[in-house]
Structure formats: structure tokens, C-alpha cells
Amino acid sequence: LAAWLRYAPLPGAEHRASLPSHIVALNSTTSSPVYIAGQELEKGIEGIFGKQCKVHHGHYGAAGSVVVGTLDEYTKAYGNLTGAPDLTEDGFWLSTKGSTVQILGQNERGALYGAFEYLSMLAQGNLTQVAYASNPSAPIRWTNEWNNLDGSIERGFAGNSIFFADGVIVSNLTRAAEYARLLASIRINAVVVNNVNANASLLTPQNIDGLGRIADAMRPYGVQVGISLLFSSPSSAVQGQTNLTTFDPLDESVIAWWTNVTEQIYERVPDMAGYLVKANSEGQPGPITYNRTLSQGANLFAKALQPYGGIVMFRAFVYNQLNESDWRADRANAAVDFFQPLDGEFDANVVIQIKYGPIDFQVREPTSPLFADIPKSNTAIELQISPEYLGQNCHFVYLPPLWKTVLDFDLRADNTTSLVKDIISGRRFNRSLGGSAGVVNVGTNDTWLGSHLAMSNLYAYGRLAWNPSDDPTMMLQDWVRLTFGLDSSVIDTITQMSLESWPAYENYSGNLGIQTLIDILYTHFGPNPQSQDGNGWGQWTRADGETIGMDRTMSNGTGFSGQYPSEVASMFENIATTPDNLLLWFHHVNYTHVLKSGATVIQDFYDQHFAGADTAQTFVSMWESLQGKIDEERWNDQLFRQVFQAGHSIVWRDAITNFYHNLSGIPDEANRVGNH
């Protein structure tokens, strides 16, 4: 449950001398993040060093103490800070130089973030003298939890909801508060608690009160609550609300309905973060149902939220089923087709929430071109911590290297440097809002995500939302030290496994940009290459006896490459400049096509699937080598998963290599595939 906030004893108590002897938390209201910061410091210093520090509130002698509070509170208590730092919203100043440790937030939440930063240093045995300000890259640092009101979780792999059961909010919200604590330590500032495939009964008076209880439980940690809405709620017979016969976003009664419900919510949750909306997507109702535009739908909520400072996260994941017999049909085109014409029409408090790739959380996708194509709109990136297509935490995949391929991608809008991370921060197109949404789907399982190692993904998600330039290896190693201690063989082994994990999974599940060749129709788990084609979902491979891949060129294909700004468009348009790892995403080629690596497509398929499965075998012995170096319980739990993954990677390898061997009839040069 404690995840990376264990405050495990640090060997070598000789460090103690340099530790503060008391804590001053400049706020005595027990529900304030500054108060919580004081408690957290007390607990942490005691856990790590066995030293008891008393917490004082209000003005108290600063010498020899840790002072935590807002910059304003500090100034009031102790006078101006020399060299006062430049802090933006949620930012903090941390100084361990001099006789006082200063942890000062731009706001209360920032002060708590600073306390967690200091404790993270201490827990890692880092007692160096530092003094710096840290500010977030972007204001929106949210998680999405696809929790249904009955307590189940869509694409969750760690048990039931910590928020809902039997249609209502659970009475015991201890886990919600514990989750908020974890999230505060990685500087996440809001959680959307229910599934994007939303249920209107979230809006009954009883459930609005329940949301209030969740918000009360999370508020001391600086975490706000947001909710997903069902677009057709006004006509869904919500108990306790008026029942209309329409949900047309331009209808006066519908506008009044949402205004009223929004008012009820803010009465109970004055700091509600906002609404997340999945409209006209995968069977969900939306404005298009009434021939209205997606922007008219988004602005309906924007106007209701505006007086309260709330935000609408409007999802770009809108697409229709398509007919594969049409060579030019392409689901990847959908988001830009829908949203680009609407750029400039969204209200200022609307943020377009864009999945990192144009299809759906695949093992590798090109960056969504939509980030570059709506410069007059606020944008946020949607990442998936819950590894729906990536092994569902029965396989181990450390995701930040994948995310970085998108965050660091240069879309070259107007032939100018246009990194995705600078677009979502608002800097590139001068937007005031933007950021990240991570689909986490924690559950009641003690590990939160269903596997201990998977928690590195949540930890790193928060770090990247704050600073997308953080290095995946450094973040990971901080996490390992906090989670498993300072033993260098533990750090080295988990680092190696983590960094090899995404390439391995890509190699055995679908390389060369073909997508995760998973069962896309039902489970999203395990190999099923034939399920990609012959249906309307548009995750096609177009594989036949001789050829494979989607032709997404402008010259002869779906035209998707043309959705990128010109420099990137011409890179992907041209087979010679398309990287091998996205070849089959953009081009339809013969199995005998020769890659930049020198191998043919089919031979590379064979080779990489064997290589990926081979790597997965080594994870077992690597993990076994840690026996005795971490506690038995977590060691056993993860070993079970690594053994499963090793076996299942062979299932993947054989299913896919045999499938393409049968289809193409081309033998494996190394003679590993087929009957022999």
C-alpha cells in the first residue's frame, strides 16, 4: 500500500547529526496540505532515521528546523526571504542550506510537493545541500480512473474500485485518501474518478454528496476531483433530477439542466476540477446525435463550468467504424478530420485530450498529428498507465521510453521546433491551459496496479507530467531506491529489466509499426493477429500472401501522412525516410521488402519475435538473482509474474511467427518457424 512512500530505515544513522530537530508547519488547520506536510515530515524523518521531531504550528524559532508552508505564510512569520524564488502555480522552493530547511510553496499544494521532494531525498540517503525552485511544466496533471459505479473497472487489472460499489460511492474512503497521498507525492493535482463511458446516475443527489466525500478525503493532499459525464444525462431519467426528452446541446432546457446540475455539484464540491467528456465515440451519445458540432457540445459544459473555474477535458478519441474494402479508409485520420475544422471554436476552458497516437495505446504509434493541427485550442496528452494492450500487468513493460518518443517528438509546425511536450504545456502555441491525463485504473489490490513493478509507471507518469524532460532512467532509479532500497544490484537489475521491457514486448507482440497483434475484439490480451482485419475497427494490417502494412501515404494510400506538418509529412510519405519501427504503419510492402537494417520484413518478424521472447526468459533469472535482497513477499509476487511472462512471450512468438509463415509461405532462414 505504501508503494514508494515507505520511509524505510536508512542504514548508517551517523547522518542524523545534520537533521533538523523540529518541524514548523505554518498552518494549523488539520485538513490543509501544509498541515499534512508537517505530519508527513514527522513520519518520514522518524521512519528513515528513527528520529522524533515535534511539529509546531504558526511562528516558531526557525533555526534547526524544517519550515514548511506557503511563501506568503513564511513571509508573514519570518519576514522576506532573501533571494525569493520565482514560483508559478503549484511550484515550490526547497533549500537545505543554512540552519533552516525551507520548503515553501506558491500555494499549499506546492508546499506539500516540496515536503515530499525533501523526504524523497532523505529516503534515498541524499543529504546534499540544495537550494532550488521547481515549477510545473503544465497546470493539468490529472489521472483518469475508468471506474464504473457498480465497482468494476474498465481495463483495470487490480481488483475493484476504491471509489464505487453497487451504484454509489463507498462509505469507507480510506483508500481514496491513501491514493491522494501517493498522487500528491508525484504532483498530480486532480483525479477523474469515474469511467469515460459514464453513467448518468452519477448525478443523483446521493452520488453528488458521495463525490463531495471523495473530494473531502483527497483535498488535504491537494488533489481535486473531476468527473466524466454521459452526454445524454438530461434525458436519462436521473433520480432526483428533471427528466427531459432531449439532450440537444443547443436546447435551452438542456443548457438549464447542466447549469443546474453543475451548480449542485459546486455547492457540495466547491473546488471540483472539471468534466471529462467522451462524446460520439464508440457508441457514446454526443452533439453529433443532433447534428451539432463537437465544439458546441464541449462549450455547453464549458459555459456551465466557467463561473466556478472548472475545465472541460474533451476527448479527441472520436472515430467511426469503417469498411476495409475501401483502400483509403483510415481510422487514424479520424481525430484530425473531426477536430481540425473546429480549431478556434472551443471556449477558453476547454482542453482537447488527445491519446498519444492516432489509434489506441498501441505498443508503438507515431505521434498523433492532432497536437500540431489545432494551435488555437488547448491540448493535453492522454497516456495509459494501465497497460491495456501491453500485457495487463501480467507482462512487465516500463512505459516512459514509449511516452518519450511522443513527448519529445518534433512535429515541425510552421517549420519550427514544435515538441509535443511544449505544445501540451501551452508554450509552443501560447495557450494558457494544457497538460497530461493518465489512465491509471488503480484498484483495491494492495499493490494498487496488480504488480509491484508496474508502479514505476505511475511514479514516472507524475514526474513527466511535472517535467516532461526528466530522464526515464533517473526517474526509475529514484523509484527503485524508494521502493526497494539502496542495494546497487537491485537498482542495476531492475533498471536493466525495465529498459529492456518495452523493446522486448514490442518485439514479440508486433514490430515494424504493425501495432500490437493482440486480440482486439474481446480481451486485448494475448496474440490474435487475424483479429486485426476483416472488421470495422480499423486496426488493420492488410496482410495477405505477399504483402503487409497500411498504405497511409498521400500518393497512394489513406493520406494520413498528410495530416502532419510538411516536414514530418514528407518524412513519413517516403519509404526511404520512414524509420523501420514505423514502416508498416505507413507503407504497404512485400514481405521480401528489405529494411534499413538489411533484413527482409518477414525475416525481421521472425528474428524479432524470437529475440523478444528470449529477452523475456532472461527476466526470470534476473529477478531470481534478487532473492534475499528484497522482501520475500514482493519477490515472490513478481517472480510469479515474470515466469508467466516468460511462458506467454513464447506463446506470442509462436502464434505470430506461425501465422505469417503460413500466410506468406516464406521459410525462416534460421529454420525455427513451422513444421520441420
Task: List, by residue number, the catalytic residues.
Answer: 282, 360, 388
Could you tell me which of 84, 130, 94 has the C-alpha nearest to residue 114? 94
Provide the residue type at 495 as one letter.
T
Instruction: Indicate the Cα dihedral angle 144, 145, 150, 151, nearest 10°.
Output: -170
The grid cell for 368 is 498523433
b/e string for 632-641 if b means 16 or more Cβ within 10 A? eebbebbbeb
Helix (H, G, I), strand (E, B) or coil at 136: coil
Could you tell me which of 114, 195, 188, 119 has the C-alpha nearest to residue 154? 195
Helix (H, G, I), strand (E, B) or coil at 318: coil
CA distance 548 to 533: 11
CA distance 148 to 615: 37
CA distance 534 to 174: 47
| Helix, strand, coil content of the chain in percent (nearest 5) | 40, 15, 45
Q: Given the C-alpha cell 493477429, which residue does it identify? A: 529
CA distance 454 to 458: 7
Residues that bind ligand GCW (CB under 6 A): 146, 154-155, 196-197, 278, 282, 317, 360
Nearer to ligand GCW, 103 or 229 (CB): 229
The grid cell for 598 is 538489411
Residue 280 parent element (H or E): none
Shortest CB 225 distance to ligand GCW, Å: 19
Shortest CB 382 distance to ligand GCW, Å: 8
Q: What are phi and psi of 55, to 5 degrees?
A: -95, 130
> What is the side-by-side strand order in the sheet with 101-105?
54-57, 22-25, 65-70, 101-105, 92-95, 131-134
Q: Given the C-alpha cell 453513467, which residue does it identify? A: 199
Cβ distance 372 to 415 under 8 Å? no
CA distance 630 to 6: 14
Burial of 165 (0-12, 13-18, 19+ CB in 10 A): middle
Nearer to ligand GCW, 257 or 317 (CB): 317
Task: Please give the full DSSP string across 204-266, using - where no structure is assigned.
Answer: SHHHHHHHHHHHHHHGGGT-EEEEEE-TTGGGS--TTS---S---TT-HHHHHHHHHHHHHHH
Q: Which long-range contacts (CB under 8 A, 24 or more apart) does 478-483 make?
A: 478/120, 478/124, 479/4, 479/455, 480/456, 481/123, 481/124, 481/125, 482/4, 482/5, 482/6, 482/120, 482/123, 482/124, 483/3, 483/4, 483/6, 483/452, 483/455, 483/456
The grid cell for 99 is 540552519
CA distance 339 to 449: 33
